[in-house]
């Protein structure tokens, strides 16, 4: 639907369905039918007016699919490896090993195809090299950012943090100051950045002294890692 609208040159915005359901509940509309959904979506667009954003170009969409599928294959390899470790029968173990070998070949093919896609684009090559110059960011993190965070470099850091889901959300009421926490955003990007930050502080990168200063001031370790 989004691709068809974009092809016609019509402005569009893809909105998280949870936002629209929360909007409907706020108006006391708990029932859900196609007709009611269409009305709520129209009201949401009229009153909230989410900004229209262009869809990524076909090449970037294809690249994002490759990166997403790569992540799924890694998940399947881990699950099959866990099943193999718990298996007792030799025949079952052999079959699981055969499947893991097949998935590892698939993973290598996806890595090669992703690399070729980047090499075909001078802009992506330059961006990937710039990202990998940051301590803790390797091939996987850089390619995830390229594929799933195309806004990188085009919007401010506060907007970007909110988009990824690493901006602390206030939970205050009156004089009470609630505990800030992160939520929402692009889960796959947030998870990848967390692992990159963890790698950076463990390997003694320039980020480690900053992390240690935060923990010495009383910041919990995970909070300091997010900051």
- Contact indicator for 110, 158 with CB cutoff of 8 Å: no
**pLDDT exceeds 70 at position 172:** no
pTM above 0.75, yes or no: no
SS3 state at 168: coil
Backbone angles phi, psi at 177, to 5 degrees: -110, 105
Tens-place pLDDT, residues 130-158: 888 887 788 888 888 888 887 777 778 88
Question: What is the pLDDT confidence band of residue 166, given thresholds at 50, 70 and 90?
Answer: confident
| Spans of all domains in the chain | 16-43, 58-120, 162-226
State which CATH number among 1.10.287, 1.20.1530, 2.60.40, 3.30.1760 fits the domain covering 58-120. 1.10.287
- Contact indicator for 132, 142 with CB cutoff of 8 Å: yes
- Contact indicator for 144, 110 with CB cutoff of 8 Å: no
């Amino acid at each position: 639907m989004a691709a068809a609208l974009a092809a016609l040159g019509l402005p569009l915005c893809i909105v998280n369905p949870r936002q629209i359901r929360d909007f409907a509940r706020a108006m006391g509309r708990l029932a859900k039918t196609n007709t009611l959904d269409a009305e709520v979506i129209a009201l949401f667009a009229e009153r909230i007016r989410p900004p229209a954003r262009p869809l990524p170009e076909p090449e970037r969409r294809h690249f994002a699919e490759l990166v997403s599928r790569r992540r799924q294959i890694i998940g399947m390899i881990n699950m099959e490896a866990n099943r193999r470790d718990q298996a007792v029968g030799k025949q079952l173990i052999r079959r699981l090993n055969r499947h893991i070998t097949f998935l590892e070949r698939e993973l290598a093919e996806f890595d090669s195809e992703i690399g070729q896609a980047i090499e075909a684009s001078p802009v992506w090559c330059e961006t990937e090299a710039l990202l990998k110059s940051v301590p803790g960011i390797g091939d996987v993190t850089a390619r995830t950012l390229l594929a799933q965070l195309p806004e990188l470099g085009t919007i401010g850091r506060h907007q970007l943090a909110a988009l990824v889901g690493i901006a602390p959300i206030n939970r205050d009421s009156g004089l009470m100051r609630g505990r800030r926490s992160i939520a929402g955003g692009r889960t796959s990007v947030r998870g990848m950045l967390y692992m990159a930050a963890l790698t950076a502080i463990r390997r003694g990168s320039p980020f480690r002294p900053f992390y240690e200063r935060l923990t010495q001031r009383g910041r919990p370790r995970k909070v300091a890692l997010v900051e």
